[in-house]
Structure 1
Amino acid sequence: MKRDPDRASDLVEKLIGERPTHCARLKTLWAGYGTIYSVTLKRGPSLILKHIDPPDILGEDHDESDARKLLSYAVEEHFYSRLSNRLPAQCPVPKYIASCKDGERGLALLMQNVKQDYPILAEARGELTEEQTMQAIHWLARFHQHFEHHQDAEPCPTPAAASQWCGGGVWKRGGYSYLSTRLEELAAIPASSEWAVFRDTGLAEALDNFLSAPDQVGRTLLHGDVKAANLAFKHPKDAAQDPSGGVLAYDFQYTGFSLGVTDLAKFLQSSVPSGLLSPGNEERVLRKYHELRGGEAWLPWPLFWEQWEVAILDWARFMAGWGWWGNERWLKQRARELLRRPGWQADFLKKWAS
Structure 2
Amino acid sequence: MEKLKKITSYRLFLPLLCLAIVLMINIITTPTFFQISVKNGVLYGYIIDVINRASELVILAVGMTLVVSSSAGTDISVGAVMAVAGAVCCFVLAGGQQAVNAYSNPYILGFLAALVVGVICGCFNGFLVAKMKIQPMVATLILFTAGRGIAQLVTKGQITYIRVDSFKLLGANIPGLPLPTPIFIAIAVVIITVIILKKTALGMYIQSVGINSRASRLVGLKSTMIIFLTYAFCGLCAGIAGMIATSRIYSADANNIGLNMELDAILAVALGGNSLGGGKFSLMGSVIGAYTIQALTTTLYAMSVSADQIPVYKAIVVIVIVALQSPEFAKIRKKIAGKFHSEKAESKKEVA
Shorter chain as denominator, the TM-score bin is: under 0.3
Q: TM-score, normalised by structure 2?
A: 0.24
The structure having more radius of gyration, on CA atoms, is 2
Greater fraction of residues in helix? 2
Greater fraction of residues in strand? 1
Q: Which has the higher contact order (CA 8 A, sep 6+)?
A: 2
Q: TM-score, normalised by structure 1?
A: 0.24
